[in-house]
Amino acid sequence: MDTTLTAALLGLLEGLTEFLPVSSTGHILLAGHFLGFESKGKTFEVVIQLGAILALFSVYATLLMRLVLGARRDEASRRALVSLLLAFLPAVVVGVLAHEFVKTVLFETPLLIAVMLILGGVILLVIDRIAPEPGHHDALKLPFGKSLVIGLFQCTALVPGVSRSGATIVGALLLGVEKRAAAEFSFLLSLPTMGAAVAYDLFQNRAVLDFGALWEIAIGFAVAFITAILVVRWVLNYISRKGYALFGWWRIIVGSVALVALLLGF
């Protein structure tokens, strides 16, 4: 396949899946495996994530500025920022300690990714049905203890195919957070988490980063940015009305197709 088309396809996958509970990493790694695409030092895969991060930041820029600027005088703003920080911290600790194992072992196991997509889809379908009656309807007003537990759930997403947003949303639903609020908290938490992960990846791979294919990187970045903006603006309203069943079935179908293909030797 033409490299420009491949870059656009992977950028589209990144933008579509980064903030949905379907595992963008799983989709990108499986697509790269079946398309025979791999960039040196994972430069392409890391940089297009920046497009998704920038898209999310642009959507929430006003809210974030209000929280940061209001933190000195507004108790609610301070609590919201502390809540997000507490949810962010577990991933920092576990991510640094397990980084080498995750990147060199788990990321190189397509069969594991396919299985985790299916398993995560089943869990999402079940939790969407049996989650307790919500007691928290505002993503910015979660109790500190529950924010920390959601952060612990996020650590499971170090296994590719689990989904960072899927793990945090499942954790939030189990803790009595309303579906839309769970998704919004996951979105806000992804900003420091993804930003730190991308920065750490770039630093760890600085000696082998390859920006030679700048055209493909630029195409993937731009497509991921535009697609992610559209997804973020759409998904909250969809979840409020329909819940998470669509994404559970999506995971099961993609994971099953990938699993069959891998077992057949593709």
CA–CA gap between residue 19 and residue 91 (Å, rounded) = 17
Cβ-contact 131, 174 below 8 angstroms:
yes
Region at 37 (left for phi over 0; alpha for psi -120 to 50; beta for the rest): beta
Residue 212: predicted pLDDT: 66
Cβ-contact 134, 179 below 8 angstroms:
yes
Phi, psi of 164 (to 5 degrees): -60, -50
Phi, psi of 254 (to 5 degrees): -60, -45
State the residue for tokens 């750490």. 200
Cβ-contact 10, 220 below 8 angstroms:
yes
The distance of Cα 90 from the centroid of its chain, to the nearest Å, equals 16
Mean pLDDT by 10 residues, the chain (266 residues): 82 91 87 77 77 92 92 92 96 84 72 93 94 93 96 91 92 95 94 87 72 80 93 90 94 95 89
Cβ within 8 Å of residue 73, ≥6 positions away: none
The Cα-based distances of 168 to 149, 178, 187, 193, 215 in angstroms read 9, 13, 10, 12, 34
CA–CA gap between residue 95 and residue 93 (Å, rounded) = 6
User: pTM for the whole thing?
Assistant: 0.88
Which candidate, 249, 233, 243, places its Cα nearest to that of 15? 233
CA–CA gap between residue 121 and residue 244 (Å, rounded) = 10
Radius of gyration of the chain (CA): 18
Tokens of 257: 């197709």
Phi, psi of 136 (to 5 degrees): -130, 120
